[in-house]
Amino acid sequence: MAASTLEGIRVKFFFVLIWCFFIFSCTSSYLKYDKIEQLNSNDEFEKQVKISPVPGPVGDSAESKDVKTEPTDATKKTISPVKEKKKKSKKGKKEKVSAKTADAEKAPTAREPEIEDSEGFGVNRRPLVDPFRVGEEVIHDVHYFKVSAGELSLKVDPFVEVNGKKSYSFSMQIHSSRMFSTFYSVDDRAVTLMDFDQMIPRVFTLHVKESAQLRQARSFFDFDALKATYWEKKVTQKSGVEEKKLEWDILSYSQNVFSTFYYLRTFKWDIGKQYSFRVSHDQENLVFKGTALRKEKLKTEVGEFQAIVIKPEMMMKGIFKPVGEIYIWLSDDDRKYILRIESSIRIGTLVSEIVKLNPGQP
């Protein structure tokens, strides 16, 4: 894969790398566009995807606690082994269960896909301890040469339903600081809706509001058909209005580049061990691989944390390559908060580090 393509994946994979472009800009206001409603609309996406709130308290807190998770209706067939091949009728008599029915109810012998580590998971895709809480918010200060470039927030919003299936709602948002906004203004937000039972992303949306561009992007991962569709509408100073649509085949249990920030928190991260999972992006099926290098104490504005330092790589065309000089610090506990991201760029190092933490609902 060409170096330019690798760099593009690197920038998109780590959302905060947008900041490295600030020093090359010379405007402070957001791009103006008088047809913003047309930019935001997407009839094709809305026909395929229905998003609605989860009714009742489930949308706020249920099944999002630091305890072992219980099977939902959607996973009971997967994780409940067949204890007997006979069942009682209403009259108390035993009926034979067909071999086909019994086979359908048997639990899988291993967690899928095989490239993923199974420690800390049941025989289904759910982690035994859920690291996510509705209301969780981790705020980072993004700085370059020790000068604040802006703020990055990582949030867990209330549950929603995507085509009738309960889903997490994860959001990432970045704002340029006042000083950097004199060079280039940024107010971007990405939202990933991840299936609660299967831990796979269904929907991704990106809202970009910057000095040089306005952009609305959506994607839908249809795991029944193993197809991904990506729609994008963009307005730039140079080219005006542009539209793009991509479709490609995906592999089962693939993450998108933004859901990886959350999905990697479900693993244990033992020191010296490598963890892998599939990622699909921009018509490419890739493999993320991260190695837990060491444990260390990390002093931050929020306080001192015991942390695990991870170095990621990406497999492209069957070959693992470093994703630049990038390191991620996770809290060494059941929550696995992202505490720090450090990336070497052409000149200097870009650092994103926690400055505020709201753990969310108990």
- pLDDT of 269-281, one tens digit each? 999 999 999 999 9
Higher pLDDT: 65 or 24? It is 65
Mean pLDDT of 315-328: 62
Nearest Cα to Cα of residue 145 among 179, 97, 99: 179
What is residue 178's predicted lDDT score, i.e. its pLDDT?
A: 79
Mean pLDDT of 4-29: 39
For 158, residues 6+ apart whose C-beta sits below 8 A from its C-beta are 53, 54, 59, 60, 134, 169
For 12, residues 6+ apart whose C-beta sits below 8 A from its C-beta are 257, 281, 282
Cβ-based neighbour number of residue 354 at 10 Å: 24
Q: What is the 3-state secondary structure (H, E, C) of 42-106?
A: CHHHHHHCCEEECCHHHHCCCCCCCCECCCCHHHHHHHCCCCCCEEECCCCCEEECCHHHHHHHC
Mean pLDDT of 176-196: 86
Q: Is 201's pLDDT higher than 80?
A: yes
Q: Is 282's pLDDT higher than 80?
A: yes
Mean pLDDT of 257-264: 94
* Residue pair 315/13 in contact by the 8 Å Cβ criterion: no
- HSE-CB of 282 using CA atoms within 13 angstroms: 10
Q: Is 34's pLDDT higher than 60?
A: no
What is the band of 221 on the pLDDT scale with cuts at 50, 70, 90? Answer: very high
Nearest Cα to Cα of residue 351 among 44, 48, 101, 20: 20
Q: Are strands 187-195 and 240-249 parallel, antiparallel or unpaired?
A: unpaired
Q: Is 252's pLDDT higher than 60?
A: yes
- Output b/e per residue, 29-44; b: 16+ Cβ within 10 A: ebbeeeeeeebeebee
Distance CA 45, CA 220 (A): 8
Which range has the worst mean pLDDT, 74-78, 138-142, 186-190, 307-311? 74-78
What is residue 111's predicted lDDT score, i.e. its pLDDT?
A: 83
What is residue 299's predicted lDDT score, i.e. its pLDDT?
A: 97
What is residue 157's predicted lDDT score, i.e. its pLDDT?
A: 97
Higher pLDDT: 311 or 15? It is 311
What is residue 322's predicted lDDT score, i.e. its pLDDT?
A: 45
Mean pLDDT of 88-100: 46
Place of tokens 């190695």: 291
Identity of the residue numbered 173: Q
What is residue 36's predicted lDDT score, i.e. its pLDDT?
A: 55
Mean pLDDT of 32-56: 77
Mean pLDDT estimate for the chain: 78
What is the band of 324 on the pLDDT scale with cuts at 50, 70, 90? Answer: low
